[in-house]
Amino acid sequence: MRDEYDFSKGERGKFYRPNAKVHLPVYLDDDVQATLVSLAAASGKDYSALINELLKKDIELIQIAR
């Protein structure tokens, strides 16, 4: 690394996007992923769509239990 860097021509906020969506990575256990992949294939659904559907149902159950 250099001792000093020249930022005099830098532009603040050049890559800032206020409405940008951030997609968080989700890491599943191997056995959970394998099960979900097979369930999605068996039902003819997209893998992500199936996971979102399951999570929405869980959220609904949690809200009902409150």
Residue-wise pLDDT for 1-23, tens only, equals: 999 999 999 999 999 999 999 88
Residue 39: inside a domain, yes or no?
Answer: yes
Which has the minimum average pLDDT: 15-24, 30-39, 51-60? 15-24
Residue 58: inside a domain, yes or no?
Answer: yes
Using CB atoms within 10 Å of the CB of residue 16, give its burial: 0 to 12 exposed, 13 to 18 middle, 19+ buried.
exposed
**pTM (2 d.p.):** 0.65
Enter the tokens of residue 15.
């890559």
In the structure, what pLDDT confidence band is assigned to residue 52 with cuts at 50, 70 and 90?
very high
- Range(s) of the domain holding residue 53: 30-65
Residue 50: inside a domain, yes or no?
Answer: yes
Total domains present in the chain: 1
Separation of alpha carbons 63 and 9, rounded Å: 51
Separation of alpha carbons 56 and 48, rounded Å: 12
Residue 43: inside a domain, yes or no?
Answer: yes
In the structure, what pLDDT confidence band is assigned to residue 64 with cuts at 50, 70 and 90?
very high
Residue 48: inside a domain, yes or no?
Answer: yes
Secondary structure letter of residue 5 according to DSSP = -
Residue 52: inside a domain, yes or no?
Answer: yes
End-to-end CA distance of the chain: 54
